[in-house]
Amino acid sequence: MNQLETYWQNLKPNEQLLLKCAGAIFALFVIVMLIIRPLNNKIEKAEKALLQQQELVQYVKQSAAKIKGSGQGKVAASGSLSQIINVSSRRAQINISKMQPKDDTLRLTIEAVEFNKLLPWLESLVEQSGLTISAIDINRGAEPGMVSISRLVVEK
């Protein structure tokens, strides 16, 4: 440490000032490269992920509204409501967790289903079976492309 102090004191004041400025610039560079830049990169990634999730939510809402509203004036399929749902869900390879009948409606819960399987199934319920989807709550699943339905109310 003595050698460093001796070296520093042997420098001219201009050289000391130059080294101080260079040290400050180097410290600023290190702060920017090691702290600020990685934080900005993480913020950009998070913003992209948020935008993708918002687009997915918007798409799900539009699709649900389309499915919900497209069933008006259709010919009803024969059989009970639960029978129609059971047959069509088996055909679409969708596992229904819970089925609760109430009057002329059926409330369904589906724990995990591929979103790309769900939409065609819902469309077939409306278009082919003549059912009406009066309410649906879709939640994002644990894996990409998977959703869960906490409430799907179907009526004949």
Give the structural domain span for 89. 71-155
CA 137/CA 111 separation, integer angstroms: 12
pLDDT of residue 109: 93
CATH number at residue 81: 3.30.1360.100
14 in any annotated domain: no
**Residue 91 carries which DSSP code?**
H
CA 46/CA 69 separation, integer angstroms: 34
23 in any annotated domain: no
How many residues does this entry show for the chain? 156
pLDDT of residue 64: 78
Nearest to 88 by CA among 59, 120, 123, 125: 125
Number of domains in the chain: 1
144 in any annotated domain: yes
- The burial class, CB within 10 Å (0-12 / 13-18 / 19+), for 67 is buried
Q: What is the pLDDT of residues 86-113, one digit of tens each?
A: 898 999 899 999 999 888 899 999 988 9
Nearest to 123 by CA among 156, 92, 83: 92
99 in any annotated domain: yes
151 in any annotated domain: yes
* Positions of the chain with pLDDT under 70: 69-78
Can you tell me whether residue 97 is helix, strand or coil? coil
- pTM, two decimals, is 0.53
Nearest to 146 by CA among 60, 66, 54: 60
pLDDT of residue 70: 60
